């Protein structure tokens, strides 16, 4: 557990669809209609209610975020955000990935949500290197906390031991600076 201002940051190795929180973040594609990885798992576990709401939303540009209820999930909401496909790093990927995290938190604040859980956005089939992506994720979350506050707890829910260890090293370094 880590603390920035009054916000607790937790690292969890596991399945984001099992997390009890105000909102889980879905690493979605632009259509919001489901896919592989985290996106597919959230749609399968949450049931058809999420897909029905996503159809009404009509998609989401990369770096932005949209919100739906969570269907059958233990969370209250799903915040769908679209991270960038990694194409070498010279195509605004860092900015778009930062925006995906930051805009998810802005949406959580708009809905007065106090707890949120993030996967590692864009590091699966979108190919973003976990080492770079984790720096951006942590920076976006800490920037939001320092600028806007209002979130009590942020969970980073990581699927693999390797991803967990990378986030852990970076957060330990940040807390010791």
Looking at the DSSP bridge assignments, the partners of residue 66 are 80
Span 2-175: which CATH code? 3.40.220.10
Asked whether the beta carbons of 118 and 156 are under 8 A apart, the reply is yes
Is the pLDDT assigned to residue 14 strictly greater than 90? yes
Is the pLDDT assigned to residue 177 strictly greater than 80? no
* pLDDT for position 60: 98
Asked whether the beta carbons of 132 and 122 are under 8 A apart, the reply is no
- Please tell me what DSSP assigns to residue 83: P
Asked whether the beta carbons of 84 and 92 are under 8 A apart, the reply is yes
Six-digit token string for 53? 């709401």
Mean predicted confidence (pLDDT) in 58-65: 97
Q: Is the dihedral of CA 96, 101, 106, 108 positive or negative?
A: positive
Mean predicted confidence (pLDDT) in 157-176: 95
Is the pLDDT assigned to residue 118 strictly greater than 80? yes
Distance CA 68, CA 107 (A): 11
Distance CA 15, CA 42 (A): 10
User: What would the DSSP string read from start to end of 104-144?
Assistant: HHHHHHHTT--EEEE--TTSSTT---HHHHHHHHHHHHHHH
Q: Reduce the DSSP state of residue 172 to 3 states and report it.
A: helix
Mean predicted confidence (pLDDT) in 98-119: 98
State how far Cα 104 lies from the chain centre. Answer: 7
* pLDDT for position 134: 98
* pLDDT for position 149: 85
**What mean pLDDT, rounded, does the chain reach?**
96
Six-digit token string for 106? 């802005």
Asked whether the beta carbons of 2 and 87 are under 8 A apart, the reply is no
Where are the alpha helices (H) located in the chain, listed in sequence order?
37-46, 48-57, 93-110, 130-148, 161-175
Q: Which residues carry out catalysis? A: 39
* pLDDT for position 20: 97
* pLDDT for position 1: 85
Q: What is the pLDDT of residues 123-164, one digit of tens each?
A: 999 999 999 999 999 999 999 999 998 899 999 999 999 999
Each domain of the chain, given as residue ranges in start order, spans 2-175
């Amino acid at each position: 557990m880590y603390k920035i201002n009054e916000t607790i940051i937790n690292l969890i190795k596991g399945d984001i669809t099992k997390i009890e929180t105000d909102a889980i973040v879905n690493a979605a594609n632009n259509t919001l209609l489901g896919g592989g990885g985290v996106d597919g798992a959230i749609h399968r576990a949450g049931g058809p209610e999420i897909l029905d709401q996503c159809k009404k939303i009509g998609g989401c540009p990369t770096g932005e975020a949209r919100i739906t209820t969570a269907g059958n999930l233990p969370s209250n909401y799903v915040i769908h955000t679209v991270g960038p496909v990694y194409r070498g790093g010279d195509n605004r990927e860092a900015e778009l990935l930062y925006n995906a995290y930051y805009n998810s938190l802005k949406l959580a604040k708009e809905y007065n949500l106090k707890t949120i859980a993030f996967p590692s956005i864009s590091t699966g089939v979108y190919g973003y290197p976990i080492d770079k992506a984790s720096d951006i994720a942590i920076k976006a979350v800490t920037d939001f906390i320092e600028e806007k506050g209002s979130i009590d707890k942020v969970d980073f829910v990581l699927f693999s031991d390797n991803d967990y260890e990378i986030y852990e090293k970076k957060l330990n370094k940040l807390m010791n600076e």
